[in-house]
Structure 1
Amino acid sequence: MPAPPKQADLPELQDAASASLRPLAERMRPRALADMVGQRRLLAPGSALRRAVEGGHVHSMILWGPPGCGKTTLALLLARHADAEFVAISAVLSGLPQVREVLAQAQARFQAGRRTVLFVDEVHRFNKAQQDAFLPHIERGTILFVGATTENPSFELNSALLSRCRVHVLEAVSADDIALALRHALDDAEHGLGGRCLEVADAALREIAGAADGDVRRALTLLEIAADLADGEGGCISEATLHQVLADRTRRFDKGGDQSYDQISALHKCVRSSNPDAALYWLARMLDGGADPGYLARRLTRMAVEDIGLADPRALQMAIEAWNAYDRLGSPEGELALAQLTLYLASTAKSNAAYRAFNAARADVEAHGTQDVPLHLRNAPTRLMKSLGFGKDYQYDHDVDGGIALDQTGFPDAMGERVYYQPVQRGMEGKLKEKLDTLRAARTQVRKQKDRP
């Protein structure tokens, strides 16, 4: 009977045992900068960040990018090159007491002559007080702070924290690069699946890479699931196996997050630039990712009044009808109404003249404060009001030749006349422009004659 292991050997045995239980994505985590896939712009040979990391001159930073693009791996490599202790906490799981404990340990380590790379995952989930706790330690150099976030740091992080860190933007990893990572995992016998003699066609790897939607970790997880299923099929990841694994694929879309704002921005701008094909693509992307169709209907209605306006008044009516159609039909049938609306809005004439006019009027309201209504425009339902001059000299337009009292002002006396609405020569608004140009010129002429001595 073999002797039991010595106490000193237990951690080593436990490490070996736990390694075999770790997911493939964790086992295949790159151990050098050269092993990372993607991020060619940020980590290109000779780039500022790569030179700093390889030289051990690491600075506190925020890593902003989508899931699975390598934020955690990069933080680990920073600690390795800086010969520093790596400590990771999650803003989802940690509170202020845990943060203070970690910072106290880093302080003790610093006094002993060793630096700490503190990696904070999902840093945007920390509130202001929790984010502020890091500031003095970053300033004193107690920690090298590395925060990871999928959300825009400008909106989610305190300006004080941002001022002490450099923001590095990471990109979603391309399907080609993910396919390389998958092939490496299949060939790596020590950490990957190389010892299992799996048969996988390149086309299958490309399909997994595409389904991962820029997320290397997700791709490796899908490959590991497929490999486990293939063990019962002679080690071959067949088309049928792949179909099972990828049946419930979803694309990246974070409701209320940066991606949702980026995609609705893309949809709006493609409608505005009269590109119906691109607009339809972004609508389909958002619906595919789980966006609320009711939210999309509301935003499309906004586009109808902001970017189409009076160039095609039918657009607003169609937007309301499409919204109602979706409410009655639901998904997926009602989504076709939103698609038709998107195509129409992107294809029809555009004008933001009403939008600009309304903003100009609101600016005057703010600038001029509470101005009195001119006496001739005031309502005079009582004898007292009439005796005070309310409604005096008002001209009833229907009784005037031409149906318009050209010399009658509609603005407060202190402001004088204003022109907010400037129609464009597009769509139905072109006819409004012709009429208003003529009318405004006539009013100007009448006022000039009235002002002559």
Structure 2
Amino acid sequence: MNTDSTPLPERVRPRVLDDVIGQRKLIGPSGALRRAVESGRLPSMILWGPPGVGKTTLALLLAEAVKRPFIALSAINSGVKEIREVLSRPGGLFSPVVFIDEIHRFNKSQQDALLGAVEKGQITLIGATTENPSFEVNSALLSRCQVYVLEGLNREELIQLIDRAIAQDTFLQSKRITVESYDALLRLSGGDGRKLLNLLELVASAHVSADPLIITDEGVTAVAQQNIARYDKSGEQHYDIISAFIKSLRGSDPNAALYWMARMIVAGEDPVFIARRMLIMASEDIGNANPTAMIMASEAVQAIRSIGMPEGRIILSQVAVYLATSPKSNASYVAIDEAIALAEQTAHLPVPLHLRNAPTKLMKEIGYGKEYQYAHGYEGNFALQNFLPDELKGRRLYDPGHNAREAEIRRSLQKWWGDWYGY
């Protein structure tokens, strides 16, 4: 039994930069952070990377390397008050390194509270985040910080982490551990070094026999009980997986779409979020190639709100398969973006007089509404006339897609506007 209450990741935390596993591009001989340390000038920075790759360790070791005081705050339980308390402390010979874990959880006012101190060099800020700082750190603070991207640990590095812990930690040494297979440890920890070490300690603690501990995949799985999906509902994984899901729908692959959607469901993603993204996709990528797709997706949003999960998974599956196997067209999406770009360039153009509203006698006298042809007064409910500013006459924005439904639309447009718009 381990009598030390300090978690294993803390017990085996590296004490110098050279002992850090991974991140060679940053802290290797020619790495940017290594050069900063050697120059003695540590910039304010954001360390962006997945969980368990050593962001906290790097921050601590960087401060120690340049012999600066280190103050750690967590964005989970710190606010503007705590920030101001840190900033109000008397300054010593060297400005402190203020480390803020999960800085993406700070709101704008909390981030703004750091601006002046960072700008004046009162502190060196090191923020850690699992989320894209472009989305979650306000631009004013981001412009005052260097962003360093930390890479996930690869298989060899994770194995090195396990082996070093077994060799260094007294408690693990007492278990006389032999690793028969690393696969379950790596799989269940999802590449998170902290989670990996915690799982290793959990497996060691569960071994009460006097015999040496042989780590097997079956034994690790039995102790862990279940594989916890590596998915941060507000982090980059969130955006990556929803992106893979939408691209699979757009690419007409129901199998991949179901897989990525299942990843989100297993991780506890909000099912309404999934349904709403399918609604957007139904219009953006299917559109008038199959107008029913948008109705299906819209109904899915309402149905999920009504019945929730787990039954909602069936509705999500049905709609995902329907969207993936529908004909595709982005014609409406392309058309509105082109129309907006044109509108921004030509906002000065007046509305033609015949299209203007004429609620007063004076407006009618000066030509508002004159020569407008009411479509329902003509054969086929159509009258050929210009509906754009005169300078844009004949400018085509909508080009029907190449599918059965929009082929019908194209034929109608050719009949009405063939020469006018070049259909």
TM range (shorter): 0.7 to 0.9
| Aligned 1:52-451 pairs, distance under 5 A | 52-54=36-38, 56-105=40-89, 107-110=91-94, 115-188=95-168, 191=169, 193-203=171-181, 205-232=182-209, 234-236=211-213, 237=215, 241-320=219-298, 322-323=300-301, 330-361=308-339, 400=378, 403=380, 405-411=382-388, 416=393, 418-443=395-420
What CA deviation, in whole Å up to 9, does each residue of 1:430-451 have, x standing for no partner?
Answer: 3322442343224569xxxxxx
Return 5+ residue gaps in structure 2 as ranges.
none
What CA deviation, in whole Å up to 9, does each residue of 1:71-116 have, x standing for no partner?
Answer: 0000111122212222212233334443344334461243xxxx53
* Alignment match, 2:35: 51
* Alignment match, 1:38: 22
Q: Is the 8 A contact 1:56 1:82 kept in 2?
A: yes
TM-score, length-normalised on structure 2? 0.82
CA distance in 1, matches of 2:120, 2:196: 40
SS at match of 2:43: coil
Return 5+ residue gaps in structure 1 as ranges.
1-18, 446-453
SS at match of 1:231: coil
The structural deviation recorded for 1:119 is 1.5
The structural deviation recorded for 1:358 is 3.5
Q: Is the 8 A contact 2:48 2:131 kept in 1?
A: yes
CA distance in 2, matches of 1:370, 1:83: 61
CA distance in 2, matches of 1:180, 1:170: 18
Q: Is the 8 A contact 2:375 2:383 kept in 1?
A: no
41-50 or 22-31: bigger deviation = 41-50
Q: Percent identity?
A: 45
* Alignment match, 1:13: none
SS at match of 1:432: helix
Max Rg structure: 1
Q: Is the 8 A contact 2:101 2:128 kept in 1?
A: yes
CA distance in 1, matches of 2:87, 2:139: 21
CA distance in 2, matches of 1:186, 1:392: 89
The structural deviation recorded for 1:49 is 2.4
CA distance in 2, matches of 1:328, 1:94: 37
CA distance in 1, matches of 2:323, 2:9: 44
The verdict on how the C-alpha distance between 1:327 and 1:197 changes in structure 2, with shifts beyond 3 A counting, is same
Matched, 1:27 2:22: no
Q: Is the 8 A contact 1:263 1:286 kept in 2?
A: yes
The structural deviation recorded for 1:370 is 11
Look up the equivalent residue of 2:282 and give its one-letter code: A
What CA deviation, in whole Å up to 9, does each residue of 1:20-41 have, x standing for no partner?
Answer: 3311011111223333233344
CA distance in 2, matches of 1:135, 1:410: 52
The structural deviation recorded for 1:216 is 0.8
Q: Is the 8 A contact 2:175 2:204 kept in 1?
A: no
What CA deviation, in whole Å up to 9, does each residue of 1:149-187 have, x standing for no partner?
Answer: 223222332333222221101133234422321222122
Q: Is the 8 A contact 1:310 1:429 kept in 2?
A: yes
The verdict on how the C-alpha distance between 1:108 and 1:435 changes in structure 2, with shifts beyond 3 A counting, is same
What CA deviation, in whole Å up to 9, does each residue of 1:43-67 have, x standing for no partner?
Answer: 3442222333355443221111222
CA distance in 2, matches of 1:234, 1:165: 52
CA distance in 2, matches of 1:387, 1:58: 74
